[in-house]
Structure 1
Amino acid sequence: MAHRSRLAGFIIDCNTGDLDAAADFWAQALGVTVADRDAGDGTAQYQQFGDTPGDLHIEVQKVDHPSRVHLDIEADDVDAEAARLERLGAKKIAFVKRWWVMEAPTGHRFCVVRMKHPEQGEPPNEWE
C-alpha cells in the first residue's frame, strides 16, 4: 500500500531541570521564537518554536536520558513508514503513544510520527 512521508523537523532533547531556560537558549541561538511553552501533554514536556527556517517543526523536550538532538519523520501511515525504514536497516526501539522510536544503522535515534499538515510545506515523498 502506498504511503507518504517527509522530514518533519528536529527535537532538541534536554536533560535539564529548567526547560524554560533551555528553550530560551535554543530560541536565541537559532534566531527563532518560543511559540508554545505548553506544547507537551500530561506525560511529556515540550516547548515549540515558531518562525523556523522552512517552517520546520523544531521543539525542545525535557528528557531523562542524555541530551541530544533527534529528527522526526512524519508519515500518513506510521506503521508503513516504520516498515520501509526497517527494510533500509533501521530497527524499531519502542512504540510510544502514536509514534515509533527507531534507530538508524548508524546508531542515531529518530521518531516516525503522524503527518499533521500534508498540505503545508514541501510535498511529501510517495512510497510504494
Structure 2
Amino acid sequence: MHRSRLSNLVIDCRVDDLASAAEFWSRALGKKIVTVDQDGDGKYAELDTAADEPLILLQKVEHESRVHLDIETDDVDAEAARLEALGARRIEFRHRWWVMEAPTGHRFCVVRRQRAKFGPHVNEWPA
C-alpha cells in the first residue's frame, strides 16, 4: 500500500525576476510570500497556505509559462506506476520526482511527501 494526495499548485514562470512574479501572484491570490528563494537556488518561491490547502509554489522555468500540479506520495515509483495504469506516461525523472503527462496532454509531477503529515485528504492505494 502507498498513499498520495494533491500537494502543490505550481505556477511555472518564464521570467528573469522570480521575486516580481511572486509579488504579483501574492497580491492576486491574497497570499503572503513565505520565501522568494525556497531552496537557495533562485528557482522556487512559496506563498503562504493553510495546513489543509495545497502549497502554492512559483517555479522559474525555461519553457512557456503555465500552471501544473504535483501529487505527493510516500512511494514515488508506485504512484507513477499507478498513474501509468490509468493512462499517464512518464516523461522524465528529475532529481527526486517524475514528470508525467496525463492522457489529456497536461504535465504534472509525482513528488516525495512535502509536509510532515499527509493530513485528512490522503488517498490509500493497494500494492
Assess same fold via TM > 0.5.
yes
Amino acid at match of 2:67: V
Task: Measure how far apart 1:53 and its partner are.
Answer: 8.2
Aligned residues of 2:98 and 2:109 also touching (Cα < 8 A): yes
Query: Could you list the runs of 5+ residues in structure 2 that have no partner in the other structure?
Result: none
Deviations 1:88-118 (A, max 9, x none): 0000000000000000000000000001335
Give every structure 1 segment of 4 or more consecutive aligned residues whose post-TM-superposition deviation is greater than 2 Å: 51-55, 116-123
TM-score of the aligned structures, taking structure 1 as reference length: 0.91
SS of 1:10's partner is: strand
Change over 3 Å in CA distance of 1:60–1:82 after alignment to 2: same
Query: Could you list the runs of 5+ residues in structure 1 that have no partner in the other structure?
Result: none
* Structure 2 residue 32 is the aligned partner of structure 1 residue 33: yes
* Structure 2 residue 89 is the aligned partner of structure 1 residue 91: yes
SS of 2:67's partner is: strand
% identity of equivalent residues:
55
Task: Measure how far apart 1:120 and its partner are.
Answer: 4.7
Change over 3 Å in CA distance of 1:99–1:41 after alignment to 2: farther
Partner residue in 2 for 1:24: 23
May I ask how many residue pairs the two structures share in their alignment?
126
TM-score of the aligned structures, taking structure 2 as reference length: 0.92
Partner residue in 1 for 2:14: 15
Partner residue in 2 for 1:59: 57
State the superposition RMSD in angstroms.
1.6
- In 1, Cα distance between the equivalents of 2:115 and 2:49? 17
